[in-house]
């Protein structure tokens, strides 16, 4: 069992989405663009707010520092409990002081401001100053309350059972489980001091990656067909691949050149990932686990059985993913299909760009199937002023929803450019936001932050509902083909692609946990090997494609990516039941959203009508995928 006494883990939660989504070659975002680096876009004010107003949290550094000093002073309140944690009343008062009172609320507010500054600009000097102070503040807390576990675990197991059976704790065995596990032994004061002092020098892998990838990694120059020299940034790269006027040879040049920026810094990225893997494995060993994977799954109350079932499902059904790529190549008239060709939708339907206001209205119509109350929550969120919509040159890439404090609605950011996948991303991220809103409204503070494992079910269900709606309401076969391709690409990218990512992650941890070192060239070869295994013979690769692992930000959160695959399997079941008109399905789903983290992920999913421990669940998900492919194939064959 993991020791989660580090308070900053308990009071912050970040959920990030970075997934993707020939006749007329329309642009689409493929699964290979996991997260697009932010680029400058004109901010267009409409009927929905599009920028964060951070002054609603703090007016600036001076006001932030006042609360910082306030928290430091409040730490002295821990002295009132020292030597007294041996009765239900005192222990309950301690928990309320340490986790659920004014102290925690103020810490959360401080952290909210820091985290939002970082999302907007990790190079901002104010963010750097306050981030350092905030981390130091949380570490200082350990110096004041480090006595608590020593006192609680000095009580015998029988004494603890008797104390926590007192009615004052409301039979809350889930939150108290670490104290009610007989063989759990906390670290000593000396061990905790060593770990927390060492932790000051850890955690910089992800931070350094963000600066390097989002700000400092240079873009190459490219000679355009008209002879002009231009910077090949993300925006130009996507424009080139989506433009039917550019030749296949020019697109190939652009693709290889774009990924050369990762090849040129591959050794640096490999070193960052090696440091990150070593750090995660060290914490796993300290907590008594044999591997990082075992540690990370157990943190959600899961065993590796679920992971193994997902991997089995991916390998058993790879031929269906191969079928998709074969059909895609055929529909586009491609004898040879490379990664850059996967950007193309084989449809004559022209979606074009959609304004943010129109996109929000479209998603509102889609989500009406979830009922008036759900739509009311969605509407409240998009009007909250806590949604930051457009990309900037410093903003963190991708899209995410964050709940840092129970005092505020969630904070959501996009890098919205108006493409079809940007619209489905609104549905996805707002799925996270509404889930958090329901959790906060219906649960005690200790259970208001569901794990990422169930969070992605809520977001992916919205995304599947979006594509189902667009397919069902298509005006003709070409429009239906467009949305079918997007839906299949989304499922492929979320299930198969993420399991490929996870298999590569397994490889990295296997190397590191066995005392090896991550070599950039060996990683390139492994990436190409897995890409060929998962995609089959209908997609060919350049050497530059082998460095894509350097771009995957989710590798800095250990064993994160498999959850996308798991959750689209569960979301497929939920979405199918809801769209079939099953009234109980909707009631079950809303009940699931309201339960927050009050049960284990497996128990929560059972409430939603899904059994994650049954192979049938994954078989049903694959059947859902096959049905989409069958319709896709029929439309292509009948053109």
- Beta-carbon contacts of residue 110 (< 8 Å; ≥ 6 apart): 64, 67, 68, 71, 134, 137
Of 636, 638, 570, the residue nearest 608 (C-alpha): 570
Give the per-residue pLDDT at 2. 25
Tell me the Cα Rg of the chain.
25
Query: Exposure pattern of 297-317 as b/e (b: 16+ CB <10 Å)?
Result: bbbbbbeeebbebbbebbeeb
CB 43 within 8 A of CB 51: yes
- The secondary structure of 362-430 as a DSSP string is HHHHHHGGG-HHHHHHHHHHHTSS-EE-S--SSSPSSEEEEE--TTS--EEE----S-HHHHHHHHHHH
Report the topology of domain 54-206: Butyryl-CoA Dehydrogenase, subunit A; domain 3 (1.20.140)
Closest by Cα among 557, 527, 564 to 543: 527
In angstroms, the CA 592 to CA 32 distance is: 32
**Residue 66, number of CB atoms within 10 A of its CB:** 10
Residues in the chain: 639
At residue 201, does pLDDT exceed 70? no
The whole-number pLDDT of residue 5 equals 32
Give the global pTM.
0.86
Say how far apart CA 49 and CA 558 lie, in whole Å: 34
Pick the CATH number of 265-383+419-639 from 3.40.309.10, 1.10.1370.20, 2.60.40.10, 1.10.287.3510: 1.10.1370.20
The answer to whether the beta carbons of residues 29 and 238 sit under 8 Å apart is: yes
How does pLDDT run across 520-556, given as a tens digit for each residue?
A: 999 999 999 999 999 999 999 999 999 999 999 999 9
Task: Show Cβ contacts of residue 277 under 8 Å, excluding neighbours closer than 6 positions.
Answer: 292, 508, 509, 512, 513, 518, 558
- Helices 420-442, 583-594: crossing angle, 10 deg rounding: 70
E-only strand ranges, 124-201: none
565 has pLDDT over 80: yes
pLDDT digits (tens, 9 = 90+) for 33-85: 344 444 555 566 789 999 999 999 999 999 999 999 999 999 999 999 999 99
What's the pLDDT tens digit per position in 476-529? 999 999 999 999 999 999 999 999 999 999 999 999 999 999 999 999 999 999
Q: How confident is the model at residue 286 (pLDDT cuts 50, 70, 90)?
A: confident
Domains of the chain, residue spans: 54-206, 265-383+419-639
- Residue with tokens 């959203």, as numbered in its chain: 593
Give yes or no for a contact between 435 and 406, defined as CB atoms under 8 angstroms apart.
no
Q: Identify the pLDDT of residue 43.
A: 61
For 81-121, what is each residue's pLDDT tens digit?
999 999 999 999 999 999 999 999 999 999 999 999 999 99
Structural contact between residues 376 and 434, judged by C-beta atoms closer than 8 angstroms: no
pLDDT tens profile 332-361: 999 999 999 998 889 999 888 999 999 999
CA distances from 35 to 6, 31, 214, 415, 577 (A): 30, 9, 10, 10, 31
pLDDT of 19 higher than 60: no
| 3-class DSSP assignment, residue 231 | strand
- Give CA–CA dist 242/237, Å, rounded: 9
SS3 sequence, 571-622? HHHHHHHHHCCCHHHHHHHHHHHHCCCCCCHHHHHHHCCCCCCCHHHHHHHH
Q: How many CB atoms lie within 10 A of CB 577?
A: 18
């Amino acid at each position: 069992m993991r020791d989660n006494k580090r308070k900053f883990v308990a009071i912050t939660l970040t959920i990030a989405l970075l997934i993707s989504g020939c006749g007329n070659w329309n642009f689409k975002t493929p699964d290979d663009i996991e997260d697009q680096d932010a680029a400058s876009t004109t901010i267009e004010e409409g009927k929905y707010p599009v920028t964060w107003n951070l002054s609603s949290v703090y007016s600036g550094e001076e006001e932030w520092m006042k609360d910082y000093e306030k928290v430091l002073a409040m730490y002295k309140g821990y002295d009132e409990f020292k030597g007294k944690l041996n009765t239900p009343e005192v222990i309950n008062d301690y928990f309320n002081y340490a986790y659920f009172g004014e102290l925690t609320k103020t810490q959360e507010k401080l952290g909210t401001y820091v985290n939002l500054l970082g999302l907007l600009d990790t190079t901002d000097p104010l963010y750097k100053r306050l981030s350092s102070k905030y981390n130091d503040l949380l570490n200082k807390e350990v110096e004041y309350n480090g006595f608590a576990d020593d006192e609680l675990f000095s009580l015998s197991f029988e004494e603890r059972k008797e104390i926590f059976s007192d009615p004052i704790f409301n039979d809350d065995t889930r939150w108290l489980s670490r104290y009610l596990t007989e063989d759990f032994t906390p670290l000593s004061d000396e061990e905790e001091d060593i770990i927390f002092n060492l932790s000051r020098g850890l955690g910089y892998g992800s931070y350094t990656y963000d600066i390097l990838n989002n700000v400092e990694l240079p873009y190459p120059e490219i000679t355009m067909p008209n002879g002009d020299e231009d910077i090949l940034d993300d925006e130009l790269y996507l424009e080139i691949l989506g433009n039917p006027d550019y030749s296949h040879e020019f697109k190939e040049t652009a693709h290889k050149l774009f990924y050369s920026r990762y090849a040129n810094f591959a050794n640096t990225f490999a070193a960052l990932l090696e440091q990150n893997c070593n750090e995660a494995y060290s914490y796993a060993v300290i907590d008594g686990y044999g591997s990082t994977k075992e540690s990370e799954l157990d943190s959600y109350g899961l065993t590796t059985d679920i992971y193994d079932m997902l991997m089995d499902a991916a390998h058993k059904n790879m031929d269906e993913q191969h079928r998709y790529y074969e059909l895609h190549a055929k529909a586009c008239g491609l004898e040879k299909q490379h990664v850059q060709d996967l950007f193309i939708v084989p449809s004559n339907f022209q979606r074009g760009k959609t304004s943010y206001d129109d996109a929000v209205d479209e998603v509102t119509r889609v989500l009406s199937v979830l009922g008036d109350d759900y739509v009311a929550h969605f509407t409240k969120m998009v009007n909250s002023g806590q949604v930051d919509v457009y990309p900037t040159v410093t903003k963190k890439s991708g899209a995410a929803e964050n709940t840092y404090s129970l005092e505020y609605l969630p904070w959501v950011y996009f890098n919205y450019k108006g493409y079809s996948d940007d619209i489905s991303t609104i549905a996805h991220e707002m799925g996270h936001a509404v889930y958090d809103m329901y959790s906060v409204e219906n649960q005690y503070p200790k259970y208001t932050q569901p794990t990422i494992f169930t969070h992605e079910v809520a977001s992916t269900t919205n995304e599947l509902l979006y594509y189902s709606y667009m397919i069902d309401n298509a005006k003709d076969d070409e429009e239906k083909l467009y949305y079918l391709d997007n839906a299949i690409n989304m499922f492929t990218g979320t299930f198969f692609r993420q399991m490929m990512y996870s298999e590569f992650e397994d490889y990295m941890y296997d190397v590191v946990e066995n005392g090896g070192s991550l070599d950039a060239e060996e990683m390139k070869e492994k990436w190409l090997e897995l890409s060929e295994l998962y995609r089959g013979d209908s997609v060919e690769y350049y050497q530059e494609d082998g460095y894509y692992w350097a771009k995957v930000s989710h590798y800095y959160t250990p064993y994160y990516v498999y959850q996308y695959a798991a959750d689209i399997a569960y979301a497929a079941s939920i979405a199918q039941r809801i769209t079939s008109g099953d009234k109980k399905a909707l009631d079950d789903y809303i009940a699931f959203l309201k339960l927050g983290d009050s049960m284990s992920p497996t128990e929560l999913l059972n409430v939603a009508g899904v059994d994650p421990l049954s192979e049938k669940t994954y078989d049903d998900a694959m059947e859902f995928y096959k049905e989409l492919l069958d319709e896709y194939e029929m439309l292509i064959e009948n053109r």
